[in-house]
Amino acid sequence: MNPTTRDFLNLAVIATPLPQFIAECHTGPPDRFAPQETNFCLPSQPYSESPEVAPMLLWAPKSNPDLTAFMPHVQSGGYFVVNAAYLNHGHRVVQVRITSASEEYPINEFISFSSGKMQRIVRAMRDSPRWQFYAEGEVQPYENVSAYTARKIKDRLVRETVLQYLSAWGAPVEEAAFWLPAGKCFTFAPRQLPYDA
């Protein structure tokens, strides 16, 4: 199974090699969490944390080893990884959230970060009971802006379009090799701080 077909896909891609990003995180932000090696568990990674599976997964895609892919569980609260990547270390980053249309509150969202700030966000979501569409930032050349005027708000940004944006950004998630690791995989665990001892 290609993870892009999951009922919920929460994925970020960082435009830097995994070893470089891990080295940065060992010596700088995130301050309360440290990277550690873990097993690769896709495509069967569960949606929530369990004792056997790390709450988030970082790997270098075999198709693009100069990238770092990051997939947190739904309940992991791993946004500090994205923040560290673009805000503290200055990397280009893209983040998406995609759910199936059968979810109670479906969402299709694409966010890109560059030069230490958010560059672009496009989102279509149902927020009880109505659908909402939101776009902010500089329109990117690969966007299908004509779709943003569709009569039905839920049709303005759909799963297929978000995946196309990811590929155009430089993360070919529809290639099987993207979902295979080129080397070691990592997760984050709380650091043992002096005042915790």
Which residues have C-beta within 8 Å of that of residue 38, sequence separation ≥ 6? Answer: 54, 57, 185, 186, 187
Question: Which segments of 150-191 are extended strands (E)?
Answer: 185-190
Burial (CB count <10 Å: 0-12, 13-18, 19+), residue 28: exposed
Range of the domain at 33: 3-196
- In tens digits, what is the pLDDT along the chain, a chain of 197 residues? 688 998 889 999 999 999 999 999 988 888 888 899 998 888 666 666 666 677 789 999 999 999 999 998 776 777 899 999 999 999 999 999 999 888 888 999 999 999 999 999 999 999 878 999 999 999 999 999 999 999 999 999 999 999 999 999 999 999 999 999 999 999 988 887 555 54
